[in-house]
Amino acid sequence: MRFSRMLIPTLRDAPKDAGLISHKLLIRAGFIRPLAAGIYTLLPLGQKVRLKIEKIIREEMDAIGGQEISLPVGVATPHEEAVTDLVRREIRSYRQVPLVLYQIQTKFRDEPRPRGGLIRVREFTMKDAYSFHSSEDDLDAFYPKIRQAYEKIFRRCGLEPVIVQGDPGLIGGKDSHEFMLLSDAGEDQVALCEQCRYAANREIAQIFKASVNPTEPMLPLEEVATPGCESIQALAEFLKITPERTAKAVFSIADERDFVFALIRGDLEVSETKLANTVGARTLRPATGAEIRSIGAVPGYASPVGLSRQSAVKIVVDDSIVHERNLVSGANKEGFHLRNVNYGRDFIADVVADIALVREGDPCPNCQSPLILKNAIELGHIFKLGTRYSEAMGAKILTQDASEKLLVMGCYGIGIERLMAAVVEAHHDEQGIIWPEEIAPFHIALLVLNTDRTEQTELAEKLYALLRVAGLEVLYDDRSESAGVKFNDADLIGVPYRIVIGSRSITNKTIELKRRRDGAKRELSYAQGLEALVHTLKAERGW
RNA sequence: CGGAGAGUAGCGCAGCGGUAGCGCGCACGGUUUGGGACCGUGAGGUCGCCGGUUCAAAUCCGGCCUCUCCGACCA
């Protein structure tokens, strides 16, 4: 393409409301334009990159037997249901599975809070894929394939995400992995163990919980006055004990219906995600003081001890509590706590579960080394759905022995524009974007510096034509701008290679080839003819 | 949805009661052209919207809208 004919509105200054580097650069370099909060127009350059990413995804999905389809854009129907419905109608026999269907389609999400340019938007392109299997074993066998396909997709886009255990959510499959690109621009957090490579989304990461005093004999309950001790910290200081010796109560309302009373060791925090998954809640919000009092508890002085059991109150106890002895917990009386509270003797839970939120430095569940927390961008998510949808919708097949069996499903997603933004986050410098070759909008930027010198423009035109014939995508900067403008735009846009034709090219019979990634330069002679030069160039690509 | 900030030319900003400004960009002419050149001329704005106060509002007051950032969801 001729730069002069292409819509590439580069900007010197980034709009002030752009925060992230990827956001600034994609706008400045003329890839995207904001239309409304979380709604972006992809300009020609942005569209080119998106199509290249989609091409990679198609190739890798097809390589593992995926078949592209296009599901109708249901108003309220999740695509899990639409695709399960399709398969329920069309698939009868175990001989027809495994079946892998995918689509690349625009998604609309009424995001309460779009942010970070393309990282989180209201409208975006998603590749969603679904696999159908005759058994758990077959899904288990397929799962590594999709995982590898994802690794390839991201690697071809120039990214090396960390694969972490993901939140299986309410859908509650047994395996779930997220492809996380470590980046400060990310809004997720992952917990990583550098020793044993344990990696999980922070929300569901486990920690090794050593009991502080599991062998201490149970002592009798004892009420103690603790005026003004409404926080664990205040309580621990007042009683001169460590927070590990206390039990903390956290109150939530699940799905605006059930009261959830969570109890965890005083030094730990509750993971809302874990808690929600434990009680099977779609939404969870903190309870108000009035709601807490309504079940007979006192904010700041609450415990399950002596609480009259109500069916609407679900008591969830973290496993950290179960193994401890003689904790201090609330007396459900303003200004009083109880010493020597013991699980089993003084109270029991409806559910005992791990609901702790990992913190930096907590011991790894596998090797007990300190975990580190990092911000990350979630590029993709794969998980085993199991039979949740096939059961709900009656998607069955006949097995070899003519019995009916529920299909076992997996589902797998990638957000395309977010991936594009993540690539920019990972690959840029002060000058602009540095696209990995496979998804760059162009292979080569061809710059002619003095457009009023016919020797130069003629040379450039010839080279432009030959490069295209050779199958290269060329952005030919034929504008009569000053050299600096052209250099800066080429760098900003992030084309992997740059050819410069200037006065030197005429006198020395050479052109300059520069690699964007590291600035490596070469002077290539065309004394043997331009065709030979183009041949060399192709050979030199990736030198 | 809760909290904080911001809306003035395409982008970045100034002006904060008296008829709308600057830089960049854009158009035209000329000189330039190896890292965002220079001179001259010019186009471009219902100052987010609605109402109020005032002789007079971009400016003061009220309401609304939009956007950005920080907290609860997700690719």
d(CA A411, CA A391): 15
* pLDDT tens-digit series, residues A489-502: 999 999 999 999 99
The arithmetic mean of pLDDT across residues A343-349, rounded, is 91
ipTM: 0.93
* pLDDT tens-digit series, residues A3-37: 999 999 999 988 888 889 999 999 999 999 988 88
Distance in Å, residue A13 CA to nucleotide B21 C1' = 20
* pLDDT tens-digit series, residues A410-428: 999 999 999 999 999 999 9
The arithmetic mean of pLDDT across residues A271-289, rounded, is 83
Other CB atoms within a 10 A radius of the CB of residue A170 amount to: 11
Cβ contacts of residue A454 below 8 Å, gap of 6+? none
Closest nucleotide to residue A118 (Cα to C1')? B75
Closest nucleotide to residue A490 (Cα to C1')? B35
- A146 phi-psi bin (left φ>0, alpha ψ -120 to 50, beta other): alpha
Which of A58-62, A171-175, A449-453 has the lowest average pLDDT? A171-175
The arithmetic mean of pLDDT across residues A177-188, rounded, is 92
Domains of chain A from N-terminus onward: 3-159+389-425 (3.30.930.10), 222-357 (3.90.960.10), 442-540 (3.40.50.800)
The arithmetic mean of pLDDT across residues A345-362, rounded, is 91
Distance in Å, residue A507 CA to nucleotide B23 C1' = 39
Residue A244: pLDDT above 70? yes
pLDDT of amino acid A172: 54
Distance in Å, residue A40 CA to nucleotide B26 C1' = 24
Residue A76: pLDDT above 70? no
Residue whose token pair is 């410069």: A500
DSSP string, A335-398: TEEEEEE-BTTTB--SEEE--EEP-TTPBPTTT-PBPEEEEEEEEEEEEEEETHHHHHHT-EEE
The arithmetic mean of pLDDT across residues A506-534, rounded, is 94
pLDDT of amino acid A304: 86
The arithmetic mean of pLDDT across residues A169-182, rounded, is 80
Cβ atoms of A112 and A120 closer than 8 Å: no
Provide the positions of strand B that have an atom within 7 A of a protein CB: 1-2, 5, 11-13, 23-25, 32-37, 66-75
